[in-house]
Amino acid sequence: MPDAIERQLGELQRMTTSDLVDRYEELHGHACRTRHRAYLIRKIAWRIQANAEGDLSERAKRRAAELADDAEIRTMAPRSYTSPPQPGEIRTCVRSLDPRDRRDPRLPPPGSAIVRQYKGRTIRVMVLADGEGFEFDGERYGTLSVIAKKVTGQHINGYRFFGLRGGR
């Protein structure tokens, strides 16, 4: 690869996201819809290399267009799709639907414990009084998502992680 191209690719790592967006628009001729840094770097680097060394052959472009025309593209999941059953015990919580009740209807009442098995470990979270959050491992947390992240090491919706579904 020529030194000029390598130098341009190296400069991409030092550019700000705004600079990358501007460079993307300059090279591609249209505005980008994202500010995802890694994506922008990949797309810009590809375009720099394609401009310098040549793009896809016409034959490859025609074949790609044929494949795209033949593919069935589904923009939405079918209406009949239902999520697979989740493992574990099913629990039902019955409560009145008082319009003055501002609590999230998915949460059990204060003082209740939310228990879940995760990778052989029992996760037990206590629901504190309104507005006080949750207690896990002797510490207080504002949301179930923070607890789920602490347990799994990755971001996950707390209600989904603990199997709390339903609504008003």
pLDDT digits (tens, 9 = 90+) for 28-73: 999 988 899 999 999 999 899 988 888 788 898 899 888 877 666 6
> Could you tell me if 134 and 144 are in contact, meaning their C-beta atoms sit under 8 angstroms apart?
yes
Model confidence band, residue 126 (pLDDT cutoffs 50, 70, 90) = very high
- Of 8-12, 91-95, 106-110, the one with minimum mean pLDDT is 91-95
Q: Does this model's pTM top 0.75?
A: no
CB burial class (10 A; 0-12, 13-18, 19+) of residue 15? Answer: middle
pLDDT at residue number 168:
45
Dihedral of CA 46/52/56/58: which sign? positive
CA proximity to 130, closest of 106, 103, 98, 97: 103
Rounded distance between C-alpha atoms, residue 10 and residue 62, angstroms = 33
Model confidence band, residue 79 (pLDDT cutoffs 50, 70, 90) = low
pLDDT at residue number 68:
78
Model confidence band, residue 95 (pLDDT cutoffs 50, 70, 90) = low
Rounded distance between C-alpha atoms, residue 162 and residue 88, angstroms = 11
